[in-house]
Structure formats: C-alpha cells, structure tokens
Amino acid sequence: MSEPEDDFAAPFVMGVPSKGRLQENAQAFFASAGLEFVKGRGERDYRGAIAGFAGVEIAFLSASDIIGGLIAGALHFGVSGEDLLREASHRASGAVALLAPLGFGQAHVVVAVPKAWIDVATMADLADVASLCMARHGRRLRVATKYIALTQAFFAAHHISDYLIVESFGATEGAPAAGQADVIVDITTTGATLAANALKTLHDGTILRSRANLMAARGAMWGKAQRESARRLLMRVEAAEFARTHKLVRFMLGQEGHSQNGNGQNGHEAIAQLAATMRAQFGAVFPFGLPPQDGGESAPRVITALSPQSRVLALCEFLNAAGAYGMVVESAQAVFLQETTLYPALCAFLDGA
C-alpha cells in the first residue's frame, strides 16, 4: 500500500472525550504536556486544535464514538476507556491498540445485584437464582447493561444461560428499582452510586478493570505527515508522563563526602558502581549521564538522577548511607529521554502483524 508523501487532505485526527470527568481529565493530562486544546469557532463545532501545535486536529466526541471512530479509521488517535474498547472487541479485532494508560479513568465493570439478596454473594449464587427465576416464574433473569459483549462472555464463562440482556444506555443503576431488570452490569469507580441504589457487587463479579488509555487505529490514513504528527505528540506525552511518574534527585559526591567504599576504588569506579546499584535497585535513570573521568579532580560533583516516585525516598536513604550529601528531590515538568518507547510501539503496531 503506497503512503502519500505529503498529505494535506487527510489530517491527523485525535478523538478526545467531549464531556464529563473523562473530558476534564484528558484536558488536564494533555495540558500538563503543554498541549492545550482549543475548540473550533462556533458553539456547535466539534472540531478543534492544539494551541501552538500544528498538524493535529482534535475531534470532540463521546467516549463510545471515539471507539467507533478508531475502528472505522476515521481517527488516528483517541482517548477513551478500556471498557468500551473491550466491549467493541469483536468489531475491533486488532484494529485498535492501547498505547499508554493515562493515569485516570480507573473503573471496574462489575455485576451488581440488589443488596436485599442476602443469599447471593457469588456468580454461582446468581446462576442458581437465574435457574429459579426460570423454574418459578417462567421468565429469564433480566440484566440491564450497555456492555452486551462483555456480559455475554462473562456470564457464559460462569455457565449462566438463563438470562436476557435489557439494553440500558444511561442510569443503569436505577433499572432494578424501576422494575426494568433484576440485576445490572455497569461501570463503577467508588461504588457510591451502586450503594445509593441499594445494589452490591459480587465477590467474583468483576468483569474488567478499566482505565483511560491513549489508543491508536491501524485503519486510519497513515502517511509520512501523520506519522510525524504522531511522533511529536507522543514525544510530548511521554515526556510529561515520565515527569509525572518520576522524581529528580540531585546529590553531591565530592572529596569530603566521597563515597567511602572500603575497596579503595578511585572516584570514577566508585561512582560507576553506585550508579549501577541505583539502576538495579531503584530504577534510576541518569539524564545527563555520569560525571566524566577526571583523573584526580577533587571538586565535588553534582549528580542528577531520575527515579520512579514510589522508590525515590528509599533511594535517598541509600544515597545517604553511601555518603552522598546535599540531596534535593524535585519534580520535573517534562523529561525528554533519548530513547522513547511510545513512538516505536506505535510503529511496531502499524507495521507489524
């Protein structure tokens, strides 16, 4: 398939949620990467752009429409929930890849039943109640949900067939009380809405743990220009993400506080060994490399390292014990490392099997 060298006709389009918490979080995420969304002129215009970043068109759509757009190849990138992609998986079949979780939108797709059903705690109990419903009332247990494919697969895996799905695209939690269904399959974050509707989840009733993801569509028009737009976008995103999940540690290793390593190694070797331990035990990365071999220079050396947020304080303890001093822990705004992972992953997806 020939790729257009210079394609003005097919802009690079990224779908972004148009409302709700997903919209707020997506906006904040990209803003922290220096990418501010700007809406098009006119209220009804669902297209926009990124301020100061040419070559990318933003399409403001519902989270489900973004999935549809990715599958159809109308969007190159999209921000949406894993739950919606998995629900559409039989249509997607490898056409859409999850590039990176974005650190928000965590939710579970769960089976929830009325709290009043004190005899039901597991899917096995639910299977039994479904059989009873059929035997006693001659009707099937009704399950209200918008996740038809996920529900079918999950119930089949638990050997429940005596049920019928009642399609519900909003306020699913209210369906049992309104008499439209007996149980529901819905997405939940804190569980507060379920509790407020007198519903409870089952011990083994979690179908999927979902997060918001940046997704890529194989079926879109990928020419040189589109790939370049994607590369630049991903570079910013990866830089912001790395900065968000890591902390900077600056510390001194000089003659005074020189790492007392009992083997009497010289300065450079000692630093190399320290760095190796930091990499191995604390996931440290050295964005400016290590101080050059100086052959006897006695001036104190500032070393800069980046470490995952969860391990940075343990790293400081270690450095302290190793004789480092003047440790400062900072947050970075963006970190552009030489080796990126997102763009290579995208290329592998687009070009691979």
Q: Where do contacts with another protein occur on this chain (CB under 8 A)?
A: 90, 113-119, 121-122, 124-125, 127-129, 131-142, 148, 151-152, 155-156, 159-165, 176-177, 179, 181-183, 198, 203-204
Among residues 135 and 321, whose Cβ is nearest to another protein?
135
From the CB of 331, what's the least distance to another protein, in Å? 44
Among residues 17 and 176, whose Cβ is nearest to another protein?
176
From the CB of 161, what's the least distance to another protein, in Å? 5
Q: Tell me how far apart the alpha carbons of residues 150 and 186 are, in angstroms, rounded to a whole number.
A: 10
Coil/strand/helix, residue 287 = coil
Among residues 13 and 141, whose Cβ is nearest to another protein?
141
Q: Tell me how far apart the alpha carbons of residues 142 and 129 are, in angstroms, rounded to a whole number.
A: 11
Coil/strand/helix, residue 49 = strand
From the CB of 96, what's the least distance to another protein, in Å? 18
From the CB of 87, what's the least distance to another protein, in Å? 14
Q: Distance between terminal CA atoms of the chain?
A: 15
Among residues 133 and 350, whose Cβ is nearest to another protein?
133
From the CB of 172, what's the least distance to another protein, in Å? 13
State how far the alpha carbon of 181 is from the alpha carbons of 29, 144, 206, in Å. Answer: 38, 6, 19
Among residues 32 and 89, whose Cβ is nearest to another protein?
89
Among residues 21 and 203, whose Cβ is nearest to another protein?
203
State how far the alpha carbon of 243 is from the alpha carbons of 69, 204, 332, in Å. Answer: 30, 37, 5
Among residues 52 and 179, whose Cβ is nearest to another protein?
179
State how far the alpha carbon of 272 is from the alpha carbons of 264, 267, 276, 279, 286, in Å. Answer: 14, 9, 6, 11, 12
List the one residue out of 87, 84, 92, 82 whose CA is nearest residue 64. 84
Q: Tell me how far apart the alpha carbons of residues 233 and 71 are, in angstroms, rounded to a whole number.
A: 21
From the CB of 168, what's the least distance to another protein, in Å? 14
From the CB of 67, what's the least distance to another protein, in Å? 18
Among residues 38 and 157, whose Cβ is nearest to another protein?
157
From the CB of 199, what's the least distance to another protein, in Å? 9
Among residues 124 and 329, whose Cβ is nearest to another protein?
124
List the one residue out of 287, 210, 319, 302 whose CA is nearest residue 254. 302
Number of neighbouring beta carbons within 10 Å of residue 267: 20
Which residues are CB-neighbours of 236 under 8 A, at least 6 positions away? 33, 34, 35, 334
Among residues 104 and 117, whose Cβ is nearest to another protein?
117
DSSP 11: -
For residues 70 and 217, the answer to whether their CB atoms sit within 8 Å is yes
325-330 β-sheet, strand order = 301-308, 246-253, 325-330
Q: Tell me how far apart the alpha carbons of residues 49 and 14 are, in angstroms, rounded to a whole number.
A: 9
From the CB of 200, what's the least distance to another protein, in Å? 11
Q: Tell me how far apart the alpha carbons of residues 154 and 158 are, in angstroms, rounded to a whole number.
A: 6
